[in-house]
A and B are shown apart, each in its own frame.
Chain A
Amino acid sequence: MNTFSKPLLTALLVGVGLCSDAFAQKAEVIHWWTSGGESAAIKQFADAYNKAGGQWVDNAIAGGDNARAAALNRIAGGNPPTAAQFNTSKQYHELIEAGLLSDLDNVAAKGNWDQWMPTPIKNVIKVKGRYYAVPVNIHSFAWFWYSKAVLNKAGVAEPKTEAEFWTALDKIKASGQVAFAQSGTMGYERGTFSAVLLHMGGRDLYNSIYEKRDVNAIKSPAFKTVLEKFKKLHAYTDAGMPTRTWNDTTALLVTDRAGFQIVGDWAKGEFINANKVAGKDFGCFQGWGPKAPYMVSGDVFVLPKSSNKDVIKAQELLASVVTSPAAQVAFNNKKGAIPIRPDVEASSMDICAQAGVAALKDPARQTPDPSMLVPPDVFGAVGDVITKFWNTDMKPEDAQNRLVAALVSK
């Protein structure tokens, strides 16, 4: 210590203090948006945040599981990032219970979140009256996509009812083409199942299964019919289905080698990358009729609790920037998702996103994604049953019993 003069030491300390002041709004954000379109999207947030006086520190980790695991380890280890991406679901609810996340009531009150936030999202980010996560986009798993060329070749138009959908599948199959493209990974088999349950079984049955987890509903004949319809789709798939990823599956539609696919709207990026235009080369619909339910999911940022005032300031700035209308439109146009706010200008979006925004304005159509209703371990157990049912000759009754075990007895 003797080698340092007192003034020098003071100068150093002040200097350090100044530095930390200058970077007061530094925000390290862990996320898993690493593909081309996704990085372009997150850059919109980074730019907006920097413009608002902050300093965005990007920490992209490929793969949702890996990014969430990294964030969790940092939070549990006492060195949390400023913000971390999770899905709009129950994934982060245990962190809230453990008191590890900052509440956002200040920002939410200032931004009037109570007024405009869609109910399914509000329900999963607001716990015991306080907001704990910043929603950034809305995705939906339950979209039907189709290749116009394949439908034209088979001589069918976009199906307007469920009956027309099955007729269309038959005609496409008869024309020698693959009628239904399905990914062979568990999550996407389960996604198709949930969409069939919602759009063919109806919203009430969907809620009884996933929200109420009602034994009688799971054992009901109506649900058995849903399982049979889901399994019926198997007959319209191609031999390459098992083990195929969702994007390879979407590629079949992009290259006009298959008719329909049920997958989330992140698949739109595959069409756009191949210069396909929504409404011209490919079509999209979310169920049938003007009152069809719209399944809502998406991504959030959670903000780990900190006692450091600078971090809290950075978190509040981040929360207000990413929910602002301008940043929402800029981000979501690149991402292929739709904004969390119903009060944004939709004219710059493609027709699929516009249909999504329109559906979202009607609260009666908003339906939460299953991952918002059941915890991750239960949702996984449901997936185990569904993938086995889809891939083997398991009887629907057997699947019903196993789903009771997966959904109820835990």
Chain B
Amino acid sequence: MKLPTRRPAWSAHAALIPMGTTVLVAYIAGILWTVRISFTSSKMLPKSDWVGLKQYEVLFASDRWATDMVNVALFGVTFITGAMVLGFLLAVFIDQKVRFEGVFRTLYLFSYSLSFVATGVIWQWMFNPTLGIQQSLRSWGWENARFDWITSQDMAIYCVVIAVLWHSAGLVMAILLAGLRGVDEEIAKAAQIEGIPRWRYYLSIVLPQMGASLGTCLVLLAVAVIKVFDAVVAMTNGGPGDATDVPTKFIMDNLFERQNIGLASAASTTMLITVLIIIAPLMYARSRSEKNA
């Protein structure tokens, strides 16, 4: 389809100038500056020397950075899968024309109104074996109850996943519910008459029609994965050891406490490139699915 050629709307363009300037000055210039700093020996204050890829060598030799990348990948895969599945199931549940639909919708979305810091602290208490779920179970009589994931090197990262999942599943539900409501009801009736089971109806008929909402959710969740920081700091502060440490925490530590902005900039640049590699195909797919819709 070809749009009819129009004269450009000058007023609209003028209105975009403040935002455009912000993007250019704050974001693009900021990114370029960060990339430049990553090639310097800057510690506390920015310097303008040139040390080539030295900061990147230090970064990739760092045991902690390697752990961080593995952690964020583990976190990303489990969190996105979990949030999509849970959000979809919640949306389907509400789509069954349940009574008090509004109440359920609010309930599910409620956790999203909390900050990550509050979420992290609450779940830290819940997971803490000496005062949370384990302690409650024991005081109710299950003396051998054991739920100490947060103290374990292997399981602590999943505690963070659960907390963030609890926080974000409601949002996925809301977006997918809007998508579900966009599906023609006649199709549901037709499927019912044909005697197609409900699960089959949702899986094979509804899901393929929801590309745009699924894409939106995916992008939002992926962004949440990349910038996960406050929940980790509030919940585990990266511990025990570096079991829940994430790249953003590495960057913030080096930027401030460790006064090593050269290394922090190299880490940020590496993150940016990683994000571009992962997000770009997603954005492309989404823009295509929107065009087709």
Instruction: List the interface of chain A (C-beta within 8 A of B).
Output: 65, 68-69, 72, 76, 91, 94-95, 98, 184-186, 238-244, 375-377, 379-380, 384, 387-388, 390-392, 402
Q: A240-B131, A243-B124 are in contact. List 19 more A-B contacts (CB 8 A).
A: A65-B256, A65-B257, A72-B44, A94-B259, A95-B45, A239-B151, A240-B151, A242-B156, A243-B236, A376-B259, A380-B257, A380-B260, A384-B242, A387-B239, A387-B240, A390-B241, A391-B153, A391-B239, A391-B241
Q: How many whole Å from A309's CB to the nearest CB in chain B?
A: 26
Q: Which residue of chain B has its CB nearest to the CB of A91?
A: B259
Q: Bin the interface of chain B by size.
A: 20 to 34
Chain B 16-28 per-residue mask, 1 if CB under 8 angstroms from chain A, else 0: 0000000000000
Chain B 233-268 per-residue mask, 1 if CB under 8 angstroms from chain A, else 0: 001111111110000000001101111100100000
Contact status B236-A238, CB under 8 Å: no
Tell me, in angstroms, the Cα distance from A388 to B257 when the chains sit together: 19
14 contacts between A and B (CB under 8 A): A94-B43, A98-B45, A184-B240, A240-B130, A242-B240, A243-B240, A244-B128, A375-B43, A376-B44, A377-B43, A380-B258, A384-B63, A384-B242, A388-B63
Please provide the chain B residues from 193 to 236 with a CB less than 8 Å away from any CB of chain A in the complex: 235-236
Q: How many whole Å from A30's CB to the nearest CB in chain B?
A: 15
B36 interfacial contact with A, CB 8 Å: no
Contact status A239-B148, CB under 8 Å: yes
Known A-B contacts A68-B256, A243-B239, A380-B258; the reply to A95 vs B44 at CB < 8 A is yes
Q: Which residue of chain A has its CB nearest to the CB of B153?
A: A392
Most buried by B among A65, A242, A375: A242
Most buried by B among A186, A384, A402: A384
A388 proximity list for chain B (CB < 8 A): 63, 241-242
Instruction: List the interface of chain B (C-beta within 8 A of A).
Output: 43-45, 63-64, 124, 128-131, 148, 150-151, 153, 156, 235-243, 253-254, 256-260, 263
Contact status A69-B241, CB under 8 Å: no
Contact status A94-B156, CB under 8 Å: no
The binding surface of chain A is classed by DSSP as helix
Number of A-B contacts (CB under 8 A): 88
Contact status B239-A238, CB under 8 Å: no
Q: How many whole Å from B69's CB to the nearest CB in chain A?
A: 15
Tell me, in angstroms, the Cα distance from A392 to B148 when the chains sit together: 16
A241 proximity list for chain B (CB < 8 A): 151
B263 proximity list for chain A (CB < 8 A): 377
Contact status A238-B240, CB under 8 Å: no
Contact status B131-A94, CB under 8 Å: no
B258 proximity list for chain A (CB < 8 A): 376-377, 379-380
Known A-B contacts A240-B130, A391-B153, A391-B239; the reply to A377 vs B260 at CB < 8 A is yes
Contact status A239-B241, CB under 8 Å: no
Q: How many whole Å from A390's CB to the nearest CB in chain B?
A: 7
Q: Which residue of chain A has its CB nearest to the CB of B127?
A: A243
Contact status B150-A242, CB under 8 Å: yes
The binding surface of chain B is classed by DSSP as loop
A402 proximity list for chain B (CB < 8 A): 63
Contact status A69-B256, CB under 8 Å: yes
Q: Which residue of chain B has its CB nearest to the CB of A98?
A: B45
Q: How many whole Å from B130's CB to the nearest CB in chain A?
A: 3
Cross-chain contact of A387 among B43, B241, B254 (Cβ < 8 A): B241
Q: Which residue of chain A has its CB nearest to the CB of B135?
A: A240
A98 proximity list for chain B (CB < 8 A): 45
Tell me, in angstroms, the Cα distance from A388 to B238 when the chains sit together: 11
Tell me, in angstroms, the Cα distance from A241 to B152 when the chains sit together: 11
B124 proximity list for chain A (CB < 8 A): 243
Contact status A94-B44, CB under 8 Å: yes
Tell me, in angstroms, the Cα distance from A406 to B242 when the chains sit together: 16
Contact status B45-A184, CB under 8 Å: no
Contact status B237-A185, CB under 8 Å: yes
Tell me, in angstroms, the Cα distance from A151 to B107 when the chains sit together: 49
B45 proximity list for chain A (CB < 8 A): 72, 76, 94-95, 98
B260 proximity list for chain A (CB < 8 A): 376-377, 380
B240 proximity list for chain A (CB < 8 A): 184, 242-243, 387, 391
Q: How many whole Å from A374's CB to the nearest CB in chain B?
A: 11
Tell me, in angstroms, the Cα distance from A184 to B44 when the chains sit together: 27
Q: How many whole Å from B275's CB to the nearest CB in chain A?
A: 24
Contact status B241-A380, CB under 8 Å: no
Q: Which residue of chain B has its CB nearest to the CB of A238?
A: B130
B43 proximity list for chain A (CB < 8 A): 94, 375, 377
Q: How many whole Å from A388's CB to the nearest CB in chain B?
A: 5
Tell me, in angstroms, the Cα distance from A241 to B130 when the chains sit together: 9
Known A-B contacts A94-B43, A238-B130, A402-B63; the reply to A377 vs B239 at CB < 8 A is no
Most buried by A among B128, B241, B242, B258: B241
Contact status A377-B254, CB under 8 Å: yes
Tell me, in angstroms, the Cα distance from A387 to B241 when the chains sit together: 5
A91 proximity list for chain B (CB < 8 A): 259
Contact status A391-B243, CB under 8 Å: yes
